[in-house]
Amino acid sequence: MAGTDNKDAELVFVPLGGVGEIGMNMGLYGFGPAHDRQWLVVDCGVTFGGPDLPGIELIMPDTRFLEEEADRIVGLVITHAHEDHYGAVLDLWPTFDKPVYASRFCEAMLKAKRASNGIVDDVDVTVFTPGVPFSLGDFTVEVIPMSHSAPETGALLIDTPAGRVLHTADWKIDHGPVGTPMTDIERLKALGAEGKPLAVIGDSTNAMKEGVSPSESDIADNLAALIARAPHRVAVTIFASNLGRMISIARAAAKADRQVVAAGRAIHRVAGIARELGMMEGIPPFLDQNEYGYLPREKVVLLCTGSQGESRAAMARIAAGTHPVIDLSPGDWAVFSSWAIPGNEKGVLDIQNALVDKGVKIITNADEVVHVSGHPRRSELAQLYDWVKPHLLVPVHGEPMHLEAHAKFAREQGIGKVFSIRNGDMLRLYPEPAHFPGEVPVGVLYLDGNLLCTPEESRVRDRRRLALGGLVVISLAVNGAGQIVSGPMFDLDGLPELEDDEDPLLDVVKDAANGAFKSMPGKRRGDTGRLAEAIRRAVRSEVNAVWGRKPIVKVTVHKV
């Protein structure tokens, strides 16, 4: 792609996801005149469907705007290998066939995900080197190492002829990280010392929390103490991508003369990649779950998936007693070295309750400090501002309360220009900042089984209605005179059946359907569409009057 004529060139930022929500991060940087911008895409993530979206596991940003601008896209840069930042790449990016830049760990995770999930489409990844700038069109990008709960996380220094931006991605200041490099404080200080204008697009996840996040080393010490004094087995569930936590648990197990048994594909995948990349040197190999039953109780640390209450994950199956080879006994400990992503709290609590019923002792952050966020609290935000001295700040990566708390705090710290934006807004960063709300169409896409579709195409609304009110199916055939020649036949799914009910819902449905049929004049019954609608309305109304819920009613009238 040829370089852009810099006359009338602007640098703009447009979030398609992750601003007004936690998850589904995708940010666009546009450089050039309004009619001919190059677009650099940062991150391509997912969020997870909850109980209000039956059948939907993953939610992704709607990329229709990018599809319209496809010829002007210069590439995608992935900041780190967390699902909310890279999880949609294999589903969305093959459409664009543009360069992808990522860390070596993220590249390996994409390859492993593709192989594990049987994904046909692929993307070619160029591995960047932190601290070494690279060019995509008129953008020059430098990755600055930042501490986080995923390996090789980087902030992006994005430089253009119009101005420069620090896109922090996820980060924290950790002077004792495990399995990940420290935040490159000297490089951040150098940015501020240069005295050039700098816009910061910044993480807001913990902007409502005072102080400094505990170090990963503190968590490692606490886990080591717990494992050392545990009387029997210790099962620890973590975010599988948290390599540092995995390493801390392995070291604690070795110190306590225990062996680590790994349960869950995601744990094995991350550990395997980390070993291949030399990130777990000195850590003994994990045992497979099939060896669990041969070890004495006091010699086991079980490392397993299921931190978010996933029904098919190892911890959920252990709690339910359905795991093929692993069980926990009274007196064993289960440590939840994680926090529940909003919406997953009930699933996690269900697992904990099931473990308590087994006599297992539960340990969470409410009992001991066994988990820490990978995001900055307010004192860390203030420290970053002091180092880089931004002239403009845009809070991202957070729900509205996080974003507004970050914006307010930034103003209190003396940052001159602070913009509160949402997905679909366009913010001109240079030459003169300006906010254009709702400039770009945004929305979501659902991964429904193997299909990628819009919410309307997914018919999820009908699934929710089915879950709440059930389904009534009625079929009959009429002749030209409007007389019934077959049926009606009734099929009720999901409606209650009470043994001592004097007026069962099946009888209610039959009476309502027959009443609607008889009340319609014979000549009008020949209009099968009108007859079907009359029966549908009557049945739905009567069932609602008796039951208090409105089922989906499907009526088919055949004319013979």
- Kindly report, residue by residue over 300-352, the tens digit of the pLDDT: 999 999 898 888 899 999 999 999 999 999 999 999 999 887 777 888 999 99
Higher pLDDT, 355 or 54: 355
What's the whole-number average pLDDT of the chain?
Answer: 93
Q: What is the pLDDT of residue 406?
A: 98
pLDDT above 90: percentage of residues in the chain: 82
216-363 matches 460-559 in fold: no
Closest-CA residue to 338 (of 222, 206, 240): 240
Confidence label for 1 from pLDDT (cuts 50, 70 and 90): very low
Q: What is the pLDDT of residue 24?
A: 95
Give the pLDDT confidence of 242-274 residue by residue, as tens digits: 999 999 999 999 999 999 999 999 999 999 999
What is the average per-residue pLDDT within 379-398?
97
What is the average per-residue pLDDT within 519-536?
90
**Distance of alpha carbon 142 from alpha carbon 156, whole angstroms:** 6
**Hey, where are the domains in the chain?**
10-211+373-458, 216-363, 460-559
Query: Percentages helix, strand, coil for the chain, rounded to the nearest 5?
Result: 35, 25, 40
Helix and strand numbers, DSSP H then E, in the chain: 16, 28
Is beta strand 125-127 parallel, antiparallel or unpaired with respect to 392-396? unpaired
Q: What is the pLDDT of residue 49?
A: 84
Confidence label for 501 from pLDDT (cuts 50, 70 and 90): low
pLDDT at 497 over 90: no
Indicate the fold that domain 460-559 takes in CATH: Ubiquitin-like (UB roll) (3.10.20)
Q: Which residue has the tokens 């006994």?
A: 329
Q: What is the layout of strands, in order, in the sheet containing 26-32?
A: 125-127, 100-102, 73-77, 38-42, 26-32, 10-17, 426-430, 434-436
Is beta strand 234-237 parallel, antiparallel or unpaired with respect to 333-336? parallel
User: DSSP code of 229?
Assistant: H
User: DSSP code of 524?
Assistant: G
Closest-CA residue to 478 (of 539, 524, 534, 537): 524
Give the pLDDT confidence of 436-463 residue by residue, as tens digits: 999 999 999 999 888 899 989 888 888 8
Determine how many CB atoms are found less than 10 A away from the CB of residue 297.
14
Q: To which H or E segment does residue 538 belong?
A: helix 528-547
Higher pLDDT, 476 or 522: 476
**Distance of alpha carbon 527 from alpha carbon 532, whole angstroms:** 9
Give the pLDDT confidence of 271-311 residue by residue, as tens digits: 999 999 999 999 999 999 999 999 999 999 999 998 988 88
Indicate the fold that domain 216-363 takes in CATH: Rossmann fold (3.40.50)
Tokens for 305?
Answer: 């998936």
Which residues have CB under 8 Å from 126's CB, separation 6+? 99, 100, 101, 102, 134
Contact between 397 and 19 (Cβ < 8 Å): yes
pLDDT at 142 over 80: yes
pLDDT at 2 over 60: no
Which CATH superfamily does the domain covering 10-211+373-458 fall into? Ribonuclease Z/Hydroxyacylglutathione hydrolase-like (3.60.15.10)
| Whole-number Cα distances in Å, 508 to 161, 194, 469, 476, 555 | 73, 79, 15, 17, 15
Contact between 135 and 154 (Cβ < 8 Å): no
**Distance of alpha carbon 487 from alpha carbon 478, whole angstroms:** 9
Is beta strand 10-17 parallel, antiparallel or unpaired with respect to 426-430? antiparallel
pLDDT above 70: percentage of residues in the chain: 98
Residue 476, φ and ψ in degrees, nearest 5: -150, 165
**Distance of alpha carbon 137 from alpha carbon 36, whole angstroms:** 13
Helices 243-255 & 265-276 angle (0-180, nearest 10): 90
